[in-house]
Amino acid sequence: MSVASTRSEVRPAVLFEALSLWPGVLAAGVAWEATAALTLLWPDLEEWVHTGTLAVLQAVLGAAFIVAAVAGPYLGGAVARLRPAAPWLIALAGLAALWQALTAKLMWLPLPFFAPPQALLEAYIDDWARLIDCTVNSVGLLVTGYLVGAFTGFLVGVALGWSRTAAYWGHPVLRLIGPMPATAWLPVAFFAFPSSWSASVFLIALASGTPVAVLTWSGVSAVNSAYYDIARTLGANQRFLVRKVAIPAAMPHVFVGLFMGLCSSFAVLVVAEMLGVKSGLGWYLQWAQGWAAYANMYAALVVMALVCSGLVLLLFLARDRLLAWQKGLVRW
């Protein structure tokens, strides 16, 4: 038997083995190719400029999944993560096809309230500069307010958990202010601060700082007293007990507060930007709604969801790095 014939027999076997290991990813590729065919071949009831562009992007995505299904067993690494996500990739292709059919193809969902996917693509292509500017301003405002609130809440929580005097005077104030939504302070914030940006920072800091303060206080108060006794036996002073015993032991509670504060700050960010600032995703949502540009509004919502999810992911990565002994205990 010649070497060429041997190779011709081996290659189909290798290909069959690869496809048998990655059937879900292959099915996802086929599903996205079918969605691309539906987008391109089924005529729209109303003319959309970027229908062809959307079909090309869907076809490229499907081709990428098919290539991953064939080469996945040999590439490994990041490509291997596609295998568990295969059912979601198939479901997303089906949802994209259904969205396309109900809007652009059949128009069972009325315009302009329900925009087809190519309308969102048009918003990204035509208004990308404004979206990027609004995203940068929103992230800057959110990070500034969140860091101020988290740092202040952390200091307040440590003081309340460590000092009986601070707890005596601070506990009633925290119980009074804590349950109130940060947006209730809008009139006070816009009166007390010189600009809408500083008022928005205050509101975001208030929303993020309260849960951090409560959870940090709870964590410091819950530290086992035996830890302090052992440290005092070894000659530790008060500063050492706070820095090296109380705070490290309370860090799991602190990160829960940071997560809750980040989620609260997202809602306050949108409200604050709608009422004051001149650029931001919240401002963009209000602007798009005012002009009945619902496709732009949905495009901004997608960007906002990705930004929020990305920031939470970064927070959890930092948690897993600092608290390696608790990695995987709380998932995102």
In the chain (332 residues long), the average pLDDT of successive 10-residue segments reads 45 50 82 94 89 94 88 67 85 94 90 88 91 91 92 91 85 82 81 83 90 89 79 79 81 88 87 77 86 89 90 86 65 54
- Please tell me whether the overall predicted TM-score, pTM, comes out greater than 0.95 for this model: no
Q: Is residue 19 part of a domain?
A: yes
Query: Which residue among 83, 114, 145 closes a domain?
Result: 114
Q: What is the per-residue pLDDT for 40?
A: 92
Omega into 112 within 30° of 0, i.e. cis? Answer: yes
**Is the domain of 11 the same as that of 108?**
yes
Q: Are 80 and 27 in contact (CB under 8 A)?
A: no
Percent of the residues in the chain that have a pLDDT greater than 70, as a whole number: 88
Q: What is the per-residue pLDDT for 329?
A: 52
127: DSSP letter = S
Residue 215 in tokens: 């959870």
Q: What is the per-residue pLDDT for 1?
A: 45
Domains identified in the chain, total number: 2
Instruction: Please state, in angstroms and rounded to a whole number, the distance separating the CA atoms of residues 173 and 180.
Output: 12
Q: What is the per-residue pLDDT for 46?
A: 85
Q: What is the per-residue pLDDT for 263?
A: 87
**Is the domain of 184 the same as that of 109?**
no
Q: What is the per-residue pLDDT for 6?
A: 42
Report pLDDT digits (tens) over 313-325.
888 888 888 876 6
What domain range includes position 205?
128-326
Q: Is residue 38 part of a domain?
A: yes
